[in-house]
Every structure is written in C-alpha cells, then in structure tokens.
Amino acid sequence: MSTDRSDTAPAAEAQLVLGPLLRYIGTNEATVWVETSAPSTVTVVQDVGEKSWRANTFEVSGHHYAVVIVDGLEPGGSYPYRVELDQTQVWPESDSRFPVPAIRTIDPDRPTRMLFGSCRTTVPHDAEGNRTNGVDALRTLALALARGDEPWPDLVAFLGDQVYADETSDAMREFIAGRRSLDEPPGEEIKDYTEYCHLYQLAWSDPANRWLLSTVPSCMIFDDHDIRDDWNTSYSWHVEINKTQWWHQRLMGGLASYWVYQHLGNLSPQALSADPVFGPVLAAGAGAHLDLTDAVFELMERVDRNPDVYRWSYRRDLGDSRLVMVDSRAARVLEPQRRSMLSPGELDWLGDQLTLDREQQPGLRHMLIGTSLPFLLPPGMHDLEAIDETVASGGYGKVLAALGEKLRRSLDMEHWAAFNSGFDEVADMVMALARGERGPVPDTVTFLSGDVHNSYVAQVIDAAQYGAKAPIVQAVCSPIRNPMPRVVRVLMSQFARGLVRPMRFIAGHAKKVPDPQYPWAVTSGPWFDNCLAELSVHGPDLRMVWRGGVVRGDDPADPSLVQVGAAVVAGGASGAGPAETTS
C-alpha cells in the first residue's frame, strides 16, 4: 500500500541527486525524471515564457524521486528548460559548460533519427579506463552534440545492460565494502535496492552523459546484467539460483530499481496514470509525498511468480516509425516442455502492436522492434544454439541433456534460438506483417538489438519468395562500452561467415533440430568496436551508421567520433528481394 507523507515536513533542504533525465517524448508532451535527497516539489520551468509544470516526489526505500509530466507543447517544438526543487534552481548547474537542455517534441512530418545500442560499463574516462574498457561511445557522442557537430536525434534507445549488477567497478566495490563484507554472498555483486541506487548514480553521473540524458529523450529495456548474467536461462537455472540465500533480495532490488530508474520513464503520461502503483502518485493532491515502498516490492513479488502480472514491454510512436520494445528476459516461460521467450500474454500483446491501422497512424512507414537479444543471430550461432536446445531438452537422452544444459550456461546460449517455439511464433507474426496480412505493409520491418558485444546487420534472404512485400532486417549495436576479447571476436566472425555452411549442414541433418522457416544472412559486419548506432529514415529506406570514439590528443577524456560501420536498408518490395551479402 502507498503511505501519504504529506503531514511530514522535509527534514532538510532537498538536493538534486541524479538527473534530470528527459524520458518519454511525444508530439505534445514529455516526462522528466529526477532523484532528490529529500521530499520536495519538483518544477520544470520553460525558459521562454516561464510556463511551468510540477510534481511531488515519491519515496521508495528511503530514496526520493519525481516524474514531471510536461504537456501542452506543440509538435516539432524546442523548449529550453530548467529544474527547480522547492523553487530553487538545481539544473542546469551554475558552472555548467554544456548548452541549456531542451525538450524537443516529435514532428510527425520530420524523418525519424534515433540512436540505439546496449552494454555500457561504468569506469573512469581516463587512460586506464580507456585501455581496459575502450572509449565510451555514448559520452563521445554527447561531447559532439554539445559542440554542435552532430544533428539532433529524436530518441536514444538503450537495449539492455545499462548497469552491470554482477561485474562491479572499483568505485562500486568501495561503496559495497562500506556497507557489508565483500566475503559474504553475493560478494562484489549487487545485493539490494540501496546498492542498485548507487550503481545507477555511477552509471549516469558523468557530466557529459548526464547532460545528454537531460536533453535527448530516452527509452530503455533490461537484459541479463541489469539483474545477473544468464538471468532466466532455463528452469534448472531458476531452481538453483533460488536456493541461494541472497538471490531473492537481489532480484527484488533489481526489479524494483529498474521500475523506478528505467521503466517509469518508458511510459506515456496516459500509461503512467493507468499504472497500478504509480497511478496514485498522479492522483494525490498538492503537497502529498507518497511512500511506494510496500506497493513496489509487493508488485515485484507477484511479477517473480507470474510474468503476465505486469508488462515491461511498451510502444513509442514516432510519426513515420513505430518502435515496439519487447521484454525478452522477465516474460520468459521456462518450463522444460513449453519453453518460450515470451509468455502467452506477451505474445498476444506483441501481435496487437504488429497490427497496423493507417487511420490511427497515417504516416507510419517503418516498424522497429526493439529486443535486447538479437532475433536473428549470425546463422552459425543460431544453429549452434538450436542444436544445444534440442540436446538440453532431452532430445538425445538424459546424459547429453546435462551436458547441453552445462554448455548453454557456460556459453550464454539462451537467445531466441534456444526458445524455438517463441521464435517461430514471432517469425510468423513478422512475416504476416510483411505480407500485408496485418494491415498496410510497412516499408521495412527491422529488429533493433544488442547483447552480443558485436554489431552487424542481417536480412531474411529473398523474403519476397514467402510473399513478403518489405524486407525483414536485424540491426545490432553492442557494446557501447564493454569490448569483447579478441579471441572471442575471431570465433564470432566465423559464426557470421565461415562456419555458416558447416553449422547449417549439421543442424539440417539432425532430424530433431528445427530448421528456420525463413533463412537469413549477415549482410554487414560484424564490427567489434565500442559504438552507438544511428538510424535515420529516408523515405522508404533506412540508413544506419555505427560510430565510436578515438582519442587523438593528449587528453583521454576528449575523444572524437569515428565511423565503425554503415548500412542501407532498401524499403518496399525491392528490399524484400534477394538480400545483399558481403564477404
């Protein structure tokens, strides 16, 4: 239940702890998220005209937050703003070297330009941090935007692993050691909600990145490292992890903090109002500061027992494009006899989002499906995971099943190929959309993903032979800052190219291993640099470029943008023909 703290005076003057983050953006409204040190009234003030919007903070486990709904805006407008706590300006900071943040609304007639990527670790931006983790591609872009060197994006989509709860930095370990012994489980990993809060502060506090997040709208979805590596890999994994004394507290803290720090900002004002936990915050009267601790953790308990209790997936409409963000972690069905990446309720919801009505969104030309795990893996890797799934499921006996499960966990083989029934159902949905069986055919159907620490483009081979009138494409951008070891890079390149035919031969001759209904090929990449991808709409076509950072001078904190890779997706019937392949 929510507790009203309106009769409790703030113990101290509130300070800005984290944010502001510009989150939801539409044609006429936006949301701004902040964390504060104490209960307060948060006001977003338009610099021109002095129009303002305010919200009271709410509390979760002793931490204070607000989501301010900014409405009454014009499509395609730009509104410089500042943030006040109890009428005292806290953002922009007085000594900021960055431009004043602005809320830029969606213009349905303006071609979409959006960023996407995943997997970003939090280490210092010095020479040692760059040596171990590479240059931060997000921060590099932030500096370029601040200088005015880059065109402004409509949105940045973070496709998982915003934080690493199981691979902590020196700064995070120092914080943990100040609370508990690192010799006690879970050791150097995150244990509870309080530690997650500090993890997000480290991830979002760098001045350049903090500025970017205050002025470029963002949407997010979790992946495994936001909770723990291999989260929800299999039923046996789930049983074993739940036997530990620390896991339940970790999962509750991870889900609750994700709801606060990432999920609330994904939702439109209308969805926020309808949310069973956050709705009362909007309905509360002036001066009310609700304590949502019990309500949030009770919801997470129910989510852990039944994935259909609460939906983490959501949708953003961007004028010429629809972005459907799909939860491919918490919504899994793990029972051995009916494994699926998505629960029945989640599949039904996704089917609704992939059904188009020109009257509801007349300018829509591109369907973008965000899922942290690539739907179309490099073909050799897909076949390997499909083979392992058959073995681990007992298709070749109990002895080999145990080996298959061991390999599944050690090699992280838990992508869509390892949940074949769900893979086939989504593939059929997407093909029906491309055929025109779900309403008007979009010019392109494109999956946007991360996770695999390499970037590439794949496309269904000659989709027209299956009746498709639009190309079906997979675009991956990973990592933003967490490079893959060089030995693994060689192996991943082979799964995309040299090992495709051998793996297909093995999978094709294994009678119990399902064959993909609509084969695909990698057409661009793989690239292994830290990078952030930009997707831009050009009529029926999509153009994508992957860029990272390089330090050319003496200052390791002053990188420059460099292009890592690029691709063009031809839209419409021409794009549904034979897919371009490169060696």
Tell me how many domains the chain contains: 2
Is 229 contained in some domain? no
Q: What pLDDT is stored for residue 361 in this prediction?
A: 76
Q: What is the pLDDT of residues 18-48, one digit of tens each?
A: 999 999 999 999 999 999 999 999 999 998 8
Work out the pLDDT band at 343, boundaries 50, 70, 90: very high
Q: What pLDDT is stored for residue 583 in this prediction?
A: 38
Is 146 contained in some domain? no
Of 267, 287, 305, the residue at which a domain comes to its end is: 305
pLDDT for 503 beyond 80: no
pLDDT for 489 beyond 80: no
Q: What is the biggest distance separating any 2 CA atoms in the chain, rounded to whole angstroms?
A: 72
Q: What is the pLDDT of residues 355-407, one digit of tens each?
A: 998 777 778 999 999 999 999 999 989 999 999 999 999 989 999 999 999 99
pLDDT for 353 beyond 80: yes
Work out the pLDDT band at 494, boundaries 50, 70, 90: low
Q: Looking at the structure, do residues 386 and 297 belong to the same domain, yes or no?
A: no
Q: Is residue 329 within 8 Å of 165, Cβ to Cβ?
A: no
Of 228, 256, 252, 226, the C-alpha closest to 240 is: 228
The pairing of strands 30-36 and 541-550 is unpaired
Q: What pLDDT is stored for residue 60 in this prediction?
A: 98
Q: Looking at the structure, do residues 66 and 44 belong to the same domain, yes or no?
A: yes
pLDDT for 509 beyond 90: no
pTM given for the model: 0.94
Q: Around Cβ 464, how many Cβ atoms within 10 Å?
A: 17
Burial of 211 by CB count in 10 Å (0-12 exposed, 13-18 middle, 19+ buried)? buried
Q: What pLDDT is stored for residue 231 in this prediction?
A: 95
Domain encompassing residue 364: 310-583
Of 305, 336, 368, the residue at which a domain comes to its end is: 305
Mean pLDDT of 209-218: 98
Is 138 contained in some domain? no
Q: Is residue 67 within 8 Å of 300, Cβ to Cβ?
A: no
What lies within 8 Å, CB to CB, of 525 at 6+ separation is 454, 455, 456, 457, 476, 496, 565, 567
Q: 221 or 509: which carries more pLDDT confidence?
A: 221
Strand (E) positions, 491-540?
520-527, 532-538
Is 131 contained in some domain? no
Q: Looking at the structure, do residues 298 and 376 belong to the same domain, yes or no?
A: no
Summarize the chain as % helix, strand, coil (round to 5).
35, 25, 40
What lies within 8 Å, CB to CB, of 50 at 6+ separation is none
Q: Looking at the structure, do residues 469 and 494 belong to the same domain, yes or no?
A: yes
Q: Looking at the structure, do residues 371 and 465 belong to the same domain, yes or no?
A: yes
Q: Tell me the three state secondary structure of residue 571.
A: coil
Mean pLDDT of 415-429: 94
Q: What pLDDT is stored for residue 582 in this prediction?
A: 45
Q: Looking at the structure, do residues 400 and 509 belong to the same domain, yes or no?
A: yes
Q: Looking at the structure, do residues 565 and 540 belong to the same domain, yes or no?
A: yes
Q: What is the pLDDT of residues 47-105, one digit of tens each?
A: 887 799 999 999 999 999 999 999 999 999 999 999 999 999 999 998 999 999 999 99
**CA-CA distances (angstroms) from residue 262 to 34, 103, 113, 158, 313?**
11, 19, 22, 10, 12
Of 285, 305, 325, the residue at which a domain comes to its end is: 305
Q: What amino acid is encoded at 243 in this protein?
A: K
What lies within 8 Å, CB to CB, of 315 at 6+ separation is 322, 323, 324, 325, 353
The pairing of strands 52-56 and 88-91 is unpaired
What lies within 8 Å, CB to CB, of 386 at 6+ separation is 417, 418, 420, 507, 513, 514
Q: Looking at the structure, do residues 5 and 106 belong to the same domain, yes or no?
A: yes
Q: Looking at the structure, do residues 337 and 268 belong to the same domain, yes or no?
A: no
Please provide the average confidence, as pLDDT, over all residues in the chain: 92
Q: What is the pLDDT of residues 278-320, one digit of tens each?
A: 999 999 877 789 999 999 999 999 999 998 899 999 999 999 9
Q: What is the pLDDT of residues 156-179, one digit of tens each?
A: 999 999 999 999 999 999 999 999
**CA-CA distances (angstroms) from residue 567 to 360, 376, 449, 473, 550?**
30, 16, 15, 11, 21
The per-type count for the chain, helices as H runs and strands as E runs, is 18, 24
**CA-CA distances (angstroms) from residue 179 to 31, 167, 175, 195?**
34, 18, 7, 9
Is 279 contained in some domain? yes
Q: Looking at the structure, do residues 395 and 514 belong to the same domain, yes or no?
A: yes
**CA-CA distances (angstroms) from residue 66 to 59, 87, 252, 258, 298?**
9, 15, 21, 15, 20
Q: Looking at the structure, do residues 570 and 425 belong to the same domain, yes or no?
A: yes
Q: What amino acid is encoded at 374 in this protein?
A: P
Mean pLDDT of 476-484: 94
Of 12-16, 291-295, 500-504, where does mean pLDDT reach its minimum? 500-504
Is 466 contained in some domain? yes
Q: What pLDDT is stored for residue 358 in this prediction?
A: 75
427 backbone φψ class: left, alpha, beta (φ>0; ψ -120 to 50): alpha
Q: What pLDDT is stored for residue 332 in this prediction?
A: 94
Is 124 contained in some domain? no
Q: What pLDDT is stored for residue 10 in this prediction?
A: 46
Q: Looking at the structure, do residues 194 and 316 belong to the same domain, yes or no?
A: no
Rounded to the nearest 10°, the torsion over CA 513, 447, 343, 165 is 100
Which residue matches tokens 């104490």? 38
Q: What pLDDT is stored for residue 301 in this prediction?
A: 96
Q: Tell me the three state secondary structure of residue 582.
A: coil
Strand order in the sheet with 16-25: 3-4, 290-291, 58-60, 63-70, 30-36, 16-25
What lies within 8 Å, CB to CB, of 84 at 6+ separation is 42, 43, 45, 90
Q: What pLDDT is stored for residue 492 in this prediction?
A: 66
* CATH code: domain of residue 403: 3.30.750.180
Q: Is residue 214 within 8 Å of 101, Cβ to Cβ?
A: yes
Is 118 contained in some domain? no
